[in-house]
């Protein structure tokens, strides 16, 4: 009986890992704007774009960490006052430490790789880890626009669908795209 329970526990382990909510520092995707807006370390501003209605970021002189690594930039994106995305920028030198911590929390991600070049023509291997959930995703990209910066992106894929619907509606009615 004990062996059966142990086998059952291991069989359910990937499901338990997948049940983990995607988010950063208790700010899970889908959580209300008030959770971040009420934190004095963050500044929020309304935006009028097809991708959301509010963006929050760390105030100047505030700091944050992820997996013990200093965060260079942190943005929370809201659609209809619900957290729809998080973007965290870290130094490339801290990338593997962050990926290891994400894998410990969410399980092994899928790895893809591509070659990128800097402005001097030097080749670099850009590794991207990806975690896909039924309605959300997490991406850790080693090089993001620069070879010294890495980006972690949490995305509510339902929000992306809503954005596509709004863009399609704006394309059908040019008066809404002014």
- The tens digit of pLDDT for each residue in 64-94 reads 999 999 999 999 999 989 999 999 999 999 9
- The tens digit of pLDDT for each residue in 29-73 reads 999 999 999 999 999 999 877 667 899 999 999 999 999 999 999
pLDDT at 177: 62
Domain boundaries, the chain: 29-173
- Is the pLDDT confidence value at 1 over 60? no
- The residue ranking higher by pLDDT, 10 or 167, is 167
- The tens digit of pLDDT for each residue in 101-134 reads 999 999 999 999 999 887 788 888 899 999 999 9
Enumerate the H helices of 26-155 as residue ranges. Answer: 34-37, 95-106
Residue environment code for 38-73, b if the CB has 16+ CB neighbours within 10 A, otherwise e: ebeebebeeeeebbbbbbbbbeeeeebebbebebbe
């Amino acid at each position: 009986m004990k062996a059966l329970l142990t086998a059952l526990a291991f069989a359910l382990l990937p499901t338990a890992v997948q049940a983990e909510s995607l988010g950063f520092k208790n700010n899970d995707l889908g959580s209300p704007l008030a959770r971040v807006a009420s934190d004095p370390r963050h500044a929020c501003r309304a935006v009028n774009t097809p991708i959301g209605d509010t963006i929050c970021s760390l105030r100047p002189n505030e700091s944050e960490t992820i997996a013990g690594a200093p965060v260079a930039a942190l943005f929370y994106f809201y659609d209809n006052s619900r957290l729809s995305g998080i973007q965290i920028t870290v130094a490339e030198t801290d990338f593997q430490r962050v990926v290891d911590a994400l894998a410990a929390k969410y399980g092994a991600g899928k790895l893809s790789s591509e070659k990128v070049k800097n402005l001097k023509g030097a080749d670099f291997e850009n590794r991207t880890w990806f975690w896909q959930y039924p309605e959300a995703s997490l991406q850790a990209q080693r090089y993001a626009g620069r070879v010294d910066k890495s980006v972690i992106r949490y995305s509510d894929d339902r929000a992306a669908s809503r954005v596509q619907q709004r863009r399609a509606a704006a394309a059908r009615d040019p008066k809404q795209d002014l």
